[in-house]
Structures are given as structure tokens and as C-alpha cells.
Homo-oligomer: A and B are copies of this chain.
Amino acid sequence: MEQRLREREIRYTSGRRVVVAALARAEGPRSAAELSTEIGAAVPLSSLYRSLAVLEDAGVVVPHFGARGLTRYELADWITGHHHHLICVACGTVDDVEILPEYEIKVNELVDLIAQLAGFEPRAHDLEIEGRCAKCS
């Protein structure tokens, strides 16, 4: 990751390290507000947003739009491994799920088929499952 940033002449400063570390600790996408709470005053909100934007440009973090007017971020697939999302309609939590490679292969086949039929050139996909998490059911 440091290498990736260096290639793009983006400094991996302490503030950015803190943000990446917080995301690495998380079990799913986190909003700027959640990150800010976790990190504390070390990184002010405006810098936090800027760091997220820079890291997004660099392809290190990926935005996830799962709730009204709230953007959550998580580390990109190439860092954490490809995964999908479970969204709880009761508590709003978004959790990552990794799925067995054989299932992932099937998902990929479907994605390619669907895209091909629509003349669409697929680049990424995300399967979102909405329902009730173990805690809320």
C-alpha cells in the first residue's frame, strides 16, 4: 500500500496512517463520523474527510453508500480480500462476508453473463443482502 501511494506521489502521513489503521480494525464499512469517534481528536473531521478522499483516489479505500446521506468507507478489496455485504434493516449495521471461492466463481459467472447481455463492461460487483442480523432477529 505504501508502495502504491508512493507511485502516485501521495505521502503516507501519520494522519493517513491513523485513518487506514482504524479502517483495518473495523469489521465493515465505517462512516467518517464513526471513524472520528474511534480516532478521537487526533484527526479533525475536515482532515479525515480529505484523507478518505485522497485514499479513495489512490484506490486504497472504497466508498459504500448504504444509508441515507451517509457514506461509509472500507479498505479496498485488494487489501482485505473480496467480500460482500450484509445490511441489517433493524440496526443499520453493515457487515462484511467473505464467501467460499466456489460461490464467488458462480457470482462472477453471473455478473459476466448479465453484463454481456446488456453490452456492459463489468469492472466490479457487490452483492448486498438486506435482512436481519443474528443480533436483531
Contacts and interface: CB of A to CB of B under 8 A. Distances in A.
A34 interface: no
Interface in A81-135: 84, 86, 88-89, 95, 97, 99, 103, 106-107, 110-111, 113-115, 117-134
A75 to B, nearest CB: 17
Contact of A132 (B120, B128, B129, B130): B120
A59 interface: no
B97 A118 contact: yes
A110 B118 contact: no
Please tell me how many copies of the chain the complex holds: 2
A114 B132 contact: no
A128 B125 contact: yes
Contact of A111 (B113, B117, B129): B129
B128 A115 contact: no
A114 B131 contact: no
A95 B120 CA distance: 10
Contacts of A69: 69, 71
Interface stretch (A2-10, A36-44, A60-68): A60-68
A137 interface: yes
A57 B117 CA distance: 34
Nearest to A84: B114
